Amino acid sequence: MDTGKLGVWYFFDGLSSADAAAQAKRIESLGYGTLWIPETVGRSPVALASWLLANTDKLNIATGIMNIYHREPGVTMAAQKTLAEQSGGRFLLGIGVSHKPMVEGVRGLEYGPPVKTMRAYLEAMQASPYMGVEPAEAPPTVIAALGPKMLELAASHCAGAHPYFSSPDHTRMAREIMGPDAMLCVEQKVILEADPAKARELAKPVASIYKDLPNYRNNWLRMGLTDDDIDSLNDKFIDSTFAWGNADAIQARLKEHFDAGATHVCIQPVNPNGQFGDLHWECLEALAG
């Protein structure tokens, strides 16, 4: 699969289906290779992916990520192959173990050891029967991977990894662990704002959504940040995990990821106007191509 060098990662839960399709078409027209959609407590990523694929011509649609606790392995594999066949190979499956507070606290499910659980899930997907029309090429799977053991699993059991909310230093570590051939599709939050104080203030409400989730916290600590950095959302934390500034400054951060071994970077633009459900088109247009 050719993901393209740059993609877009965004929540579409605040938009109507018609508006989501229109925005996907506009992203496609700007030349981005892949649109990444998450799964939390909103739309079904399978249904949304099918809709967006049907309303675009060249744009890949990827899930970043589908929660493995929400569906059994054979169902995920069937959805993956169906979407890949329907779209002519434009679907990229990203799956992950999510976080214990989300799985147990929100869904009321039992959260297992992350690496062991993901390994068993990938192996069960591989072993599941499928009687439908196969896609022309085997569709790829990437997993949400941050720690060394999950990154090793990404290299050994699927096409690669989709790290979220990390840094170029983490990208370098991931490439060293996974070797030269694995897909490394990195998410990067971006803010088209040159004023340091304004950019950092825009970042804080976004970061606060994630700062208490254990898998992210553990990874930030591995990256050399401290609990105080994370809890206070200080400048060190924001500057490590967000790319802000003018277009050239953001492009420089994206280049750091590519130089560190990323095969694809999907940007998640923070809208300075604070409009939920509205992509910051000025940012996407400035970074396109």
pLDDT digits (tens, 9 = 90+) for 248-279: 999 999 999 999 999 999 999 999 887 656 89
Give the chain's domains with CATH numbers.
Answer: 6-191+246-287 (3.20.20.30)
For residue range 26-41, what is the model confidence (pLDDT) as tens digits? Answer: 999 999 999 999 999 9
Distance separating alpha carbons of residues 173 and 223, to the nearest angstrom:
10
Is the Cβ–Cβ distance between 38 and 49 less than 8 Å? Answer: no
Q: What value does the mean pLDDT take over residues 108-134?
A: 98
* Percent of the chain with pLDDT strictly greater than 90: 97
Kindly report the CA angle at 60 between 56 and 63, in degrees rounded to 5? Answer: 115
Distance separating alpha carbons of residues 14 and 35, to the nearest angstrom:
16
Is the Cβ–Cβ distance between 217 and 282 less than 8 Å? Answer: no
Q: Is 5 helix (H, G, I), strand (E, B) or coil?
A: coil
Q: Is 52 helix (H, G, I), strand (E, B) or coil?
A: helix
For residue range 35-72, what is the model confidence (pLDDT) as tens digits? Answer: 999 999 999 999 999 999 999 999 999 999 999 999 99
Phi, psi of 98 (to 5 degrees): 60, -140
Which amino acid, residue 99? H
Q: Work out whether the CA dihedral 149, 11, 189, 84 comes out positive or negative.
A: positive
pTM value? 0.97
